[in-house]
Structure 1
């Protein structure tokens, strides 16, 4: 029992970093994904090509590589080190680099989810808005919330993926839950440490799943009223 308490209390020290990374990345990624989804409907070839290129890069490469490129790669640019001290200060911080990589990665996947939901909106909704003389901006104000509600089920999986993705933040010296797991394993080398770590991630993701289900049910119930 003493060891169990020692392992759990030590691992708990990494929870604030894991939770702050997860919440910050999820909020920023969701907002960015909504913006990109709207821009994808603009029918502007150059803009849509840039967005699709961004999505291709961040969905086609491993998250770990993205974290390394942001944290280690930007240090090679002398222009940032010598002429942009504020920006260099941000990119020299492990938490910010991990947050940025997670947010950009999640935003790419979330944009695919939201844009797919928008394309799946029945033609009748678009035709009804057109019949009322609505322009594209007004139509999106009506259709986009409907699409986002339908995307909540798929989006909840992405939220969980972000939490699990925070485990990679330990690779750039960030003391999150996984980093404390590695610290304990290096000192005591016991399999139970991994079981406890997995149980903590399971509890976090289980809690998030319940919250997402409640949000989805309330959103759909509000729509049916």
Structure 2
């Protein structure tokens, strides 16, 4: 049993680079996109607000797996047209890139709600103080946004973990991440313990990630202690 565990672990860990790259880059991209969208929502432009809210409804209201399939298989329907731009078509037909794009867009929709909610919860006194100093809305956001982001960390840390968990779906298109190698092993050996090993690897990654987020949150909120 221990020999099988070690063998399974060695094979499954071959997918760790893809899992970590999808998770880390997805978290960073989604976070940056969410900051931009939250700021745009705060500007109260009717057209922009409707577009962003439609995007949020679509990506929070549909399963990540469906989004993954649409992004991966969708462009192939226009292969004749896209083949005229081979470099672009090669990128958007890459399983890894499609998984990254789906994770980013999905997480950014949820994260925008978190960050925008944090912005709305900023005391009105801070907004009024900036206005009294003659700052416009964009200048005020530069002052208020860092404070709001710090307050959002406790909720955002959950979304960070969800992104890493979401990478497991990438094997469906297929990406050879942790789950990709787990499925491959299961096809060869039909051993349920393969997924126990995979689960332990994910548990370790998410446990480490949660610890890091708690440390960041503690340091970021020291100003309130």
Q: Tell me which residue corresponds to 2:194.
A: 193
Q: Does 1:49 align with 2:42?
A: no
Secondary structure of the corresponding residue to residue 77 of structure 1: helix
Kindly provide the CA deviation profile for residues 33-79 of structure 1, in whole angstroms up to 9, marking residues without a partner as x.
Answer: 00101111112111111111111111111100111101101111246
Q: Tell me which residue corresponds to 1:216.
A: 217
Q: 1:147 to 1:86 in 2, by over 3 A?
A: same
Q: CA RMSD in A?
A: 1.3
Q: Does 1:88 align with 2:89?
A: yes
Q: Tell me which residue corresponds to 2:9.
A: 8
Residues in 2 aligned to 1:2 and 1:199: alpha-carbon distance in whole angstroms: 16
1:80/1:88 contact within 8 Å kept: no
Q: Tell me which residue corresponds to 1:106.
A: 107
TM-score, scaled relative to structure 2: 0.96
Residues in 2 aligned to 1:174 and 1:53: alpha-carbon distance in whole angstroms: 29
Residues in 1 aligned to 2:197 and 2:74: alpha-carbon distance in whole angstroms: 34
Q: Tell me which residue corresponds to 1:203.
A: 204
TM-score, scaled relative to structure 1: 0.96
Residue ranges of structure 2 left out of the alignment (5+ in a row): none
Q: Tell me which residue corresponds to 1:167.
A: 168
Secondary structure of the corresponding residue to residue 14 of structure 1: helix
Q: Tell me which residue corresponds to 1:64.
A: 65
Q: Tell me which residue corresponds to 1:75.
A: 76
Q: 1:80 to 1:64 in 2, by over 3 A?
A: farther
Q: Does 1:152 align with 2:178?
A: no
Residues in 1 aligned to 2:81 and 2:91: alpha-carbon distance in whole angstroms: 11
Residues in 1 aligned to 2:189 and 2:52: alpha-carbon distance in whole angstroms: 47
Secondary structure of the corresponding residue to residue 83 of structure 1: coil
Secondary structure of the corresponding residue to residue 134 of structure 1: coil
Kindly provide the CA deviation profile for residues 109-139 of structure 1, in whole angstroms up to 9, marking residues without a partner as x.
Answer: 1000000010111112112222222211221
Length, aligned pairs only = 224
Q: Tell me which residue corresponds to 1:177.
A: 178
Q: Tell me which residue corresponds to 1:30.
A: 31
